[in-house]
Amino acid sequence: MNIEQIYTGCLAQGAYYIVSQGEAVIIDPLRETAPYLDRLQRDRVQLKYILETHFHADFVSGHLDLSKATGSPIVYGPNADPSFDFYSAKDGEFLTFGSCAIKVLHTPGHTMESTCYLLIDEHGKERALFSGDTLFIGDVGRPDLAQKAASMTQEALAGTLFDSLRNKLMPLADDIIVYPAHGAGSACGKNMSKETFDSLGNQKKINYALRADMTKEEFIQEVTDGLQSPPVYFGENVAMNKSGYAAFDSIKQRGLTPLSAEEFIALDDDVVLLDTRSADEFGLGHVPGSIFIGLDGQFAPWVGALMPSVKQRIALIAPNGREEETVTRLARVGYDNVLGYLNEGIAAWEGSLERIDRLTATEVEVGLPSEEIIVDVRRPGEYSAEHLEGVPNIPLDFINERMDAFPKDKTLVLHCAGGYRSMIAASILKARGFHRVKDVIGGYNALSKTALKKAPGAKASC
């Protein structure tokens, strides 16, 4: 038996590939199926089951394309109601493959169909728990994402999650290894660890949600406290995972259509021009009206947080040679409506380019002119931990809703933690008519090393 965690850092997502005596199981696959199909062929094994822990909100699963390609059944636990053929596993049921078995553990709370899968090896020993979004390393799944679908409050879902953890997972042996669906960086929880697996025994010791002396009321309070609104694309991804979607290969083929500069200029005004190069490159010169969200960062989650809908039409300015990667990563979160990319990249653009000036932390420390103001675009939790004295916080997460908070009569000097998010914010502001924007290179990481006065422990403005 072999367990492989296939971790995708930009989504903070873990899929799993398990093999035993010529048969395999794949859990929570990503949308592009070619890597799984190649692996099955290389290992000369047959895919027995495609297991889904729940209807994912933060990415589009590859279950449908993978099932079509292999003929393997898609398995959900109780309460799932997708519009396609699937196998509805019962709580406590055993699914065998090779010389091993998977025990189905229905664990509602994050969503009502949420299910964990307990791996039993060839010797009958319970070896690993694939916990989906029910149990993370250091955290548990947020209980507010399925309120409408379940006709329950987040408090009621949190109470259900408490029961699932206590009755189904905490009684399991301490040496079982927990393999969750996500790690730090995912919006499916609040305080996930950077570690991507751990023993259940250690989680019982350090995970706040598994404290043995915790009451249900205390659990509900702690799990629901401080939850921010989920990204706008979450509901649309759930719908795609439940109802189906276009084949990934067709999405990729359309997205890889090369467009000339003339075709780019002729695009409709509602098409978003998405520049996925580096912040440095975007600042030095970009197509007027384009938005920056760089590939070398939390690309797909930020697209999902800031684009109004997965149906948004997009045209790409991508780093040369990384066009396919860009289309793939957009499709992972359901943004399938990519019309093509600027052929030969920014070098092919024949019109004028715009710039966004970037300042060093030292330049900010020396002093800014009176018409320039600094704005911190980090998340509220980062800001409340420490920030520059007198600097307001308008998080990038809420920029579309709080556009009127930015004064148009000032030059805006934006900073985040390292310079990635502030350039995203600068590009959005500039596309919306705020032409006097600048970005701080290195963000707060650099600013915190200067003599500028810090204000620890204050509250964010939203």
Phi, psi (rounded to 5 degrees) for 283:
-60, -35
Sheet holding 100-106, edge to edge: 94-97, 100-106, 115-120, 126-132, 177-180, 198-199
Of the three residues 331, 348, 365, the one that is the final residue of a domain is: 348
Using only C-alpha atoms, the chain has a radius of gyration, in whole angstroms, of 24
The answer to the question of residue 385 being in a domain is yes
Number of domains in the chain: 3
Do the beta carbons of residue 334 and residue 244 sit within 8 Å? no
Residues 15 and 122 in one domain: yes
Residues 283 and 258 in one domain: yes
Do the beta carbons of residue 92 and residue 103 sit within 8 Å? yes
Residues 126 and 148 in one domain: yes
Distance of alpha carbon 457 from the chain centroid: 28
Of the three residues 207, 234, 261, the one that is the final residue of a domain is: 234
The answer to the question of residue 87 being in a domain is yes
**Residue type, position 34, single letter:** A
**CB-based burial label for 58 (10 Å; 0-12, 13-18, 19+):** buried
Which distant-in-sequence residues (6+ apart) come within 8 Å of 195 by Cβ?
Answer: 137, 138, 183
pLDDT at residue 456, rounded to an integer:
72
pLDDT at residue 458, rounded to an integer:
46
CB neighbour burial string for 415-447, b if at least 16 within 10 angstroms, e if fewer: bbbbbbbbbbbbbbbbbeebebbbbbbbbbebb
Residue matched to tokens 């985040």 = 416
**Cα 399 to Cα 430: distance, rounded to the nearest angstrom:** 12
CB neighbour burial string for 115-147, b if at least 16 within 10 angstroms, e if fewer: bbbbbbeeeeebbbbbbbbbbbbbbbbbbbbbe
Start-to-end Cα distance in the chain? 50
Which structure tokens are listed for 110?
A: 């994050």
The answer to the question of residue 240 being in a domain is no
The answer to the question of residue 455 being in a domain is no
Of the three residues 212, 234, 256, the one that is the final residue of a domain is: 234
List 129's β-bridge partners, or say none: 118, 178
pLDDT tens by residue, 277-306: 999 999 999 999 999 999 998 899 899 999
Q: CA geometry: angle at 170 spanning 6 and 202, to 5°?
A: 60
**Domain holding 57: CATH number?**
3.60.15.10
Residues 339 and 382 in one domain: no
**Domain holding 375: CATH number?**
3.40.250.10
Residues 174 and 83 in one domain: yes
pLDDT at residue 21, rounded to an integer:
97
Residues 340 and 418 in one domain: no
Task: To the nearest 10°, report the CA torsion of 410, 302, 415, 286.
Answer: -60
Residues 330 and 229 in one domain: no
pLDDT at residue 184, rounded to an integer:
82
pLDDT at residue 457, rounded to an integer:
61
Sign of CA dihedral 244, 63, 324, 329: positive
Residues 259 and 308 in one domain: yes
Residues 334 and 199 in one domain: no
Distance of alpha carbon 68 from the chain centroid: 26
**Residue type, position 298, single letter:** Q
CA distances to 212, 306, 393, 424, 437 from 300, in Å: 37, 10, 24, 13, 24
Residues 212 and 141 in one domain: yes
> Has this prediction a pTM greater than 0.85?
yes
SS3 4: strand
**CB-based burial label for 333 (10 Å; 0-12, 13-18, 19+):** buried
**Cα 268 to Cα 420: distance, rounded to the nearest angstrom:** 28
- DSSP secondary structure of 299-344: HHHHHHHHSS-TT--EEEE--TT-HHHHHHHHHHTT---EEEEETT
Which structure tokens are listed for 132?
A: 């989906």
Q: Identify which of 60, 78, 197, 81 has the alpha carbon closest to the alpha carbon of residue 135.
A: 197
pLDDT at residue 461, rounded to an integer:
42
The answer to the question of residue 24 being in a domain is yes
Residues 167 and 51 in one domain: yes
Which distant-in-sequence residues (6+ apart) come within 8 Å of 388 by Cβ?
Answer: 374, 376, 444, 447, 452, 453, 454, 455
pLDDT at residue 402, rounded to an integer:
93
Range of the domain at 250: 246-348
The answer to the question of residue 461 being in a domain is no
**Cα 305 to Cα 311: distance, rounded to the nearest angstrom:** 14
Residues 145 and 271 in one domain: no
Q: What is the pLDDT along the chain (462 residues), one digit of tens a residue?
A: 999 999 988 888 999 999 999 999 999 999 999 999 999 999 999 999 999 999 999 999 999 999 999 999 999 999 999 999 999 999 999 999 999 999 999 999 999 999 999 999 999 999 999 999 999 999 999 998 877 777 889 999 999 999 999 999 999 999 999 999 998 877 777 778 889 999 999 999 999 999 999 999 999 999 999 887 888 899 999 999 999 999 999 999 999 999 999 999 999 999 999 999 999 999 999 999 999 999 998 899 899 999 989 999 999 999 999 999 999 999 999 999 999 999 999 999 988 999 999 999 999 999 999 999 999 999 988 999 999 999 999 999 999 999 999 998 999 999 999 999 999 999 999 999 998 999 999 999 999 999 999 987 644 443
Do the beta carbons of residue 387 and residue 346 sit within 8 Å? no
Do the beta carbons of residue 347 and residue 261 sit within 8 Å? no
**Cα 220 to Cα 209: distance, rounded to the nearest angstrom:** 10
The answer to the question of residue 452 being in a domain is no
The answer to the question of residue 332 being in a domain is yes
